[in-house]
Structure 1
Amino acid sequence: MDNNVTLPSKLYDTDNMDVDTMLDLYRDMLLGRNFEDMCAQMYYRGKMFGFVHLYNGQEAVSTGIIKALNDTDYVCSTYRDHVHALSKGVPPRLVMAELFGKETGCSHGRGGSMHIFSAPHNFLGGFAFIGEGIPVATGAAFQSVYRSQVLNNSDPISVTACFFGDGTSNNGQFFECLNMAVLWKLPIIFVVENNQWAIGMAHNRSTSSPEIHKKAISFGLPGIEVDGMDVLAVRKVACEAIHRARSGNGPTLIEALTYRFRGHSLADPDELRSRQEKAAWVARDPIKSFKSYLLHNSIVNEHYIQEIDINVKDQIDDAIQFALASPEPEVKDLKRYLFAEDL
């Protein structure tokens, strides 16, 4: 057990969760962290281009929300989208190849870091502009209701999880789509990943109402604040919100308090945040805390944790080799994928 990691002040709610599920949550968070660390290496080696925004520190939010969804549910992301895609089941190979701009990438090398997309996994994409994905997610939730109520589709209602940052909560799309979602009782979960900073602007300096979850009151939907460094706390509120949405009772706004351990992007020197602030959040690393909990409570032994670590590293190595060996898009296909193709 790592003595430098402080266990959460409250016990995780594991009464209704089996060991396999808990280990799957740990595995998913670790995959996201290792994937992003490798992205940093590849970026500085010149294998990736453009802006790359990493997710280190926020893994408990992605894992806690997305791993509570069904395969038929939808996820809509932001420009910090790699780990969301991995949690939704997009293979690491396809995500890494996309970051390398290869034809085998999940967006055929046309999207890159900020536009990960995978129709087979109901992953609706990353979006470069803040708030851009919220209307898309609202549309996905609407079509699910339309299929059920108008087209008489007997399949269970699909829920959409829409992720965005604290900076987006002052944006017009946020308010317009919350209003529409409540009005039509759409099966959508709005997830604010409040990592305390909108690029270089501290959240509490940019809004007259820093507690974002309280903005839900204006529209008549539940607003919940959760510790975004506690994967099971996130999962608990996610399960409740998903049940509410799938039951036809409408949306929920979840504000997950979290922190990004790296700069805004790999081009950001990260000089605006104090060392003390960063150290305080890093001490609450969600992966280390959860690992310590699993070991401390004898839910799993160190040997099994090591096996997971090795397996995850093997997946990352495989993804790198796949991306390096994959072909570049051909010039003749420059205009391909601009329009839908005949099947």
Structure 2
Amino acid sequence: MSLPNEIQPTEEELLWMYEHMVLSRKYEERIGKAYLEGKVPVFNMTKGPIPGEMHLSNGQEPVAVGVCAHLTDKDCIVGSHRPHHIAIAKGVDLDKMTAEIYGREAGLSRGKGGHMHLFDPEKSFSCSGIVGQGIGLAVGQALAAKLQGTGAVAVAVTGEGAANQGLFHESMNLAALWKLPFICIIEDNKWGVSVSKATSTSIARNSDRAAAYGIPGEYVEDNDVWGVYSAAKRAVERARNGEGPTIIEVETIRMAGHFVGDPETYVPKDELAARRDPIDVMGERLEKEGVLKPKERAAIAEKAEQRVEQAVEFACDSPYPDGDEAMQNIFA
């Protein structure tokens, strides 16, 4: 459901958002397939070309594009352990990001960070595998932007579970007190790993917590990309005008388990059945409004698949870093 005072995106912005949502989905589908190589029929997290955990963002694409549509390269954004959709919407180099996920030398951090620790200074993008940590980092970036007078804003994208962390409250308090150009985006997919929001959080909407800090809070229902775009535009304008931070919570969905291999047996069947693919929802609306034609939707999907395959090929053709680099450029 869109907000009453919705700010309408232009046709060009709509196409950009849809194209990046499709690119993100195709990317996640391909990475998910590659991740399972060597891990079936007996799942072993250490096997295959991409070892470790893998968290996919299928279903949460509206958050990424609705927010990043308003950001420039100088605006900072920090993602969580489920970061690929945010990175793609922020313009992170897909080849280098894929090489990083594969642990290759050509990666963003020469293969040392992996999928939960992606860093791209050129696009002011970063992320962290520690729950809630990105909130404090983004508040620090917002403080730097204010002190330096750059006009940049800083955004933290985190889950609804992280809003129960002490760091969330400490960071929001400081951001509000100092009127920092900071925006906290909460992706409410209803599940913190296997714990439901209803059994872990005393308030129905984390956006209502904004009142405790004397700042605006908005809740966007139904994973609505138009609603995210509208709320994010208001928040970015407030931040750039020196009016301080905003909390935006988006009702989104996790179309797969917490990690690849999670069967989601804890999710009620009626909730699973009620999930609607936001890409289908947006594509159908764009067709109805005459922005896209079926052939154009198919062409966008095909182009995205080709770009993703190019990135995977780039990663697989890249060498692994030399063993002597193991202790270089790290914090000890």
TM-score range normalised by the length of the shorter chain = over 0.9
1:94 has 2:88 as partner: no
Flag the 1:189–1:14 CA change in 2: closer, same or farther, 3 A.
Answer: closer
Of the three residues 20, 28, 49, the one matched with 1:28 is 20
User: Corresponding residue for 2:41?
Assistant: none
SS at match of 2:127: coil
Q: Is the 8 A contact 2:190 2:197 kept in 1?
A: yes
Given that residues 58 and 228 in structure 1 are in contact (C-alpha distance below 8 angstroms), is that contact kept between their aligned partners in structure 2?
no
- Which of 65, 68, 74 aligns to 1:66? It is 68
Q: Which runs of 4+ in 1 moved over 4 A?
A: 8-15
Distance 1:31 1:175 in 2: 34
> C-alpha distance in 2, partners of 1:279/1:11?
28
Matched, 1:136 2:128: no
**Of 275, 285, 294, the match for 2:269:** 275
Q: Deviations over 1:164-218 (max 9, x none)?
A: 1111111100000000000000001000101000001000101211221111111
Pick aligned residue for 2:250 from 248, 256, 260 = 256
Counterpart Cα distance in 2 of 1:79 and 1:140: 19
Structure 2 counterpart of 1:164: 158
Task: List gaps (5 residues or longer) in structure 1.
Answer: 1-7, 149-154
SS in 1 for 2:119: coil
Amino acid aligned to 1:47? P
Q: Secondary structure at the match of 1:76?
A: strand
Structure 1 residue 298 displacement after superposition? 1.4
User: What is the CA distance between 1:273 and its match in structure 2?
Assistant: 0.5
105 and 194 in structure 1: CA distance in 2 versus 1, 3 angstrom threshold: same
Kindly report which structure 2 residues correspond to 1:1-343, keeping only aligned pairs within 5 A, or say none. 15=8, 17-45=9-37, 46-123=48-125, 125-148=126-149, 155=150, 157-227=151-221, 229-281=223-275, 284-338=276-330
Consecutive unaligned residues of structure 2, counting only runs of 5 or more, are 38-47
Please report the RMSD computed on the Cα atoms of aligned residues, expressed in angstroms.
1.8
User: CA offset at residue 308 of structure 1?
Assistant: 1.2
CA contact (8 A) 2:176 2:213 kept: yes
Amino acid of the residue matched to residue 29 of structure 2?
D
Counterparts in 2 of 1:249 and 1:335: CA distance versus 1, 3 Å: same
SS in 2 for 1:335: coil
Aligned equivalents of 1:24 and 1:246: distance in 2?
23
SS of equivalent residue, structure 1 residue 263: coil
Report the 3-state secondary structure (helix = DSSP H, G, I; strand = E; otherwise coil) of the residue aligned with 2:208. helix
- Secondary structure of 1:24's counterpart equals helix
Describe the SS at the equivalent of 2:116.
Answer: helix
Instruction: From the superposition, tell whether residues 303 and 111 of structure 1 become closer, same or farther in structure 2 (CA, over 3 Å).
Output: same
- Contact kept, 8 Å, 1:134 with 1:174, in 2: the verdict is yes
TM-score, length-scaled by structure 1 = 0.90
Q: Is contact 1:27–1:308 with CA below 8 Å preserved after alignment?
A: yes
Give, in angstroms, the shift of residue 228 of structure 1: 5.5
CA distance, structure 2, for counterparts of residue 74 and residue 308 of structure 1 = 28
Q: Deviations over 1:3-36 (max 9, x none)?
A: xxxxx68999574x33221111000101111111
Q: Check conservation: 1:229, 1:285, Cα contact below 8 A.
A: no
Q: Which residue of 2 aligns with 1:5?
A: none
TM-score (norm 2): 0.93
CA contact (8 A) 1:189 1:252 kept: yes
Aligned to 2:50, what secondary structure does the other structure show? Answer: coil
Distance 1:192 1:114 in 2: 18
Structure 1 CA distance for aligned equivalents of residues 228 and 315 of structure 2:
33
User: Percent identity of the aligned residues?
Assistant: 34
Matched pairs, number: 322
Instruction: Give the Cα–Cα distance (whole angstroms) in 1 for the partners of residues 181 and 172 of structure 2.
Output: 12
Letter in 1 for 2:235: A
51-60 vs 88-97, which deviates more? Answer: 88-97
